[in-house]
Structure 1
């Protein structure tokens, strides 16, 4: 069978050592079979194993191969659509539950890092940076909204204050969230995989799920093996393909591009981000950046709809980086890569159950690092019969893309073009 290695990236090049993991051969029986060893699958497995379930994970490539091992590495609270949007579209009880959960993912990450001693360069503090007065108005509202749900580690930054945390002339102000932060995302996934194994779970790599045999005792088929389980958790997100056709129709994979510079001098690194916080701007098509443990700048953005790999990632991202930090004009880019996230039309995650025993969570829409850790916990609760929090997510409406699969890329790209114009003119 073809061995799929990690794609080249700064994260793959600086990953902690990992054990060789077997391919699934023959027949296995378990309580829960998880499809996908990214954050959603790993978090679900840990939650279940900590509560006495027998769990195995089948992974098409390697632990953290998809978005979990390639993202910007930022711990950002809430969802891709904020709680006010949820409040307008669902009832007060459901909104209250979802609002309370909006800040839980980051806490779960920190608890796991501490409990399982995961080495992943955790640093505290994240900034939302505003270009316009309108964006500052949104941040003021966001602060009040989040504080209403008990989230208090927030500070509004005026123009003078944001210059103290981001060495760029571009921003009018911002919002600092000290419960935000950043990590080496692949090393977080690898540490969680080690936690799964320490709890007695098994991870099979290079073992793509090719078919799910549905029924009272569902079976997951891989090229050389089968897993018979009581429950299945589908956690493939943007890398699931058409394994579950009813899930594919309501989502679209999108690519985000990321670069990492050569290591910067301590003086240069401190001049860019003096407090070592991570940053994302407030545009619809946003840029995000942070420093790594070895003082490289990671800079990302540039959404590609339909998840094609662009020919020259550096050509897309470098001009954006230099617009933010012109002082980096002579700095070399050491790594450039792309990774896919899964977009839903509502920009809210999709959680649910197919039949009695196939559970899923997908469609983080760019807010995956924290949400996936929460998703694993609520999927674990649901399988233990505590479904209130699962039901709050499952009750969110799912919409198919207009015009079906053929039209979803042009439809979304037109929407993105419209919002890019709004960003450009500050509308």
Structure 2
């Protein structure tokens, strides 16, 4: 049986108080049944409730149990593949729509935090760090690309400015995005769930969807109950399992690992990240890090294809942390955990509709904090009959993994190994 309690993460240990929500025991009628109480599901539910829909959310474990409560906590704009890739693969009109939406997720998060008074340690400022002139050239092109779509809160940093911003000697420069930033991700999810309930939405935990009865009025079955709805939103991402087989074939769960240090003394924390920005590097298999509100360094990286849990997470990630910050050699690691994100072959999100009334969004490919909040708005618009932005996402190609998940896992890992070698040799 799947473990449905939170992992032993720093986020779970420092989570705001939240109620234990009941499991579904009977038959519920609602306008919209949302499967999954992560960011995609909670964002969808909030936008729908704000427009007068009745909403019931089914969660297999606890609110924010999956990637929404385990991620690096970084607000990063755009998608896992940037807008230039989208421009080359779709028409100009579709690219324009997707390009202008690429910066909306962060604004939605800030609006939610302010409107519903969510206590999640929100800080502004995100930094992309370059190891080489080639990566710096990529950041210069990224700045120009994003500015074409109206995103102007960007500043290129040379080596000296970079050294004043992060105490890591490996970087030749970087790109600062002041509309980026960081949050306590589980507390954001818990705050959004409380907002859902404040508007009359219902959330059932420990209530895994085990079958969707499709038809004019779909019925979602759990072990002990059913939800009759006009619409269903499938928002399970990497934790959906095989509930919707046609979605499972086009995506692959992957694991990412995170460690958190003991609290650092004030001077050491301030020396590492003086402006308290979050950082991610420009490698294909990237590392990312930031300070928590209580001055711990949260450091993540590494990808396990097929979502197996590594035996010793600290052994994988601590060397990466010490390569960036050798000054932390004697600092103790208090927490180490893994969590799954959902990878697509194109590394672009998969959005669509099954029949007339089952909608889905999945496959953030490691770029989900901002995208999922946008996805909720786009799905809610589609249910209200405003489908232009939904259609722009739905028009992106959905490729199945060659050989399915069984053979796709080693093939994907081989591709990642190739790119990691390119990172290592700077080509």
Superposed CA deviations along residues 14-58 of structure 1, whole A, max 9, x for unmatched, are: 000001211000100000000000000000000000000000000
Residue equivalent to 1:309: 309
Aligned residue in 1 for 2:85: 85
* Count of aligned pairs between the two proteins: 427
Offset of 1:2 from its aligned partner?
Answer: 8.2
Find the aligned partners of 1:179 and 1:417 in 2 and give their Cα distance: 32
What's the counterpart of residue 232 of structure 1?
A: 232
Q: 5 Å matches for 1:6-405?
A: 6-405=6-405
> What is the Cα deviation at residue 308 of structure 1?
0.3
- Secondary structure of the corresponding residue to residue 397 of structure 1: coil
Q: Shift of the alpha carbon at 1:134?
A: 0.4
> What TM-score results when the alignment is normalised by the length of structure 2?
0.99
Q: How far apart in 2 are the matches of 1:166 and 1:3?
A: 38
- Using the TM superposition, name which of 401-410 and 203-212 deviates more: 401-410
Shift of 1:4: 2.0
What is the alpha-carbon distance in structure 2 between the residues aligned to residue 323 and residue 247 of structure 1? 39
Structure 1 residue 406, shift from structure 2 partner? 1.9
SS where residue 99 of structure 1 aligns? helix
Cα-to-partner distance string for 1:182-213 (whole Å, 9 max, x where unaligned): 00000000000000000000000000000000
In the TM superposition, residue 405 of structure 1 has moved relative to its aligned partner by 2.3
Shift of 1:417: 0.4
Contact 1:9 1:335 in 2 (8 A): yes
Deviations along 1:237-264, one digit per CA (max 9) or x if unpaired, are 0000000000000000000000000000
1:137-178 deviations in Å (ceiling 9; x for gaps): 000000000000000000000000000111010100000000
- SS of the aligned residue for 1:195 comes to helix
Q: Structure 1, unaligned stretches of length 5 or more? A: none
Shift, 1:403, TM fit: 1.6
Deviation at 1:402, TM superposition (A): 1.1
Q: Distance in 1 between matches of 2:417 and 2:292?
A: 31
Distance in 2 separating the partners of 1:271 and 1:63: 35
Pairwise CA distance, 1:355: 0.2
The structure 1 segments of at least 4 consecutive aligned residues displaced by more than 6 Å after TM superposition are none
Q: Is the 8 A contact 1:3 1:206 kept in 2?
A: no
Q: Deviations over 1:51-71 (max 9, x none)?
A: 000000000000000000000
| SS of equivalent to 1:179 | strand
Q: TM-score, normalised by structure 1?
A: 0.99
Distance 1:323 1:3 in 2: 34
Q: Distance in 1 between matches of 2:145 and 2:18?
A: 42
Partners of 2:358 and 2:2 lie apart in 1 by 28
SS at 2:126 equivalent: strand
Distance 1:369 1:424 in 2: 27
TM superposition shift of 1:312: 0.2
Deviation at 1:101, TM superposition (A): 0.1
CA distance in 2, matches of 1:299, 1:20: 29
Q: Deviations over 1:108-151 (max 9, x none)?
A: 00000000000000000000000000000000000000000000
| CA distance in 1: counterparts of 2:3 and 2:57, whole angstroms | 17
Give unpaired runs (5+ residues) of structure 2.
none
Aligned-partner Cα distance in 2 for 1:11–1:57: 22
Query: For the residues of structure 2 that align with 1:149 and 1:118, how far apart are their CA atoms?
Result: 29
What is the distance in 2 between the residues matched to 1:4 and 1:279?
31
Q: Distance in 1 between matches of 2:267 and 2:312?
A: 30
Structure 1 residue 3: deviation in Å? Answer: 7.3
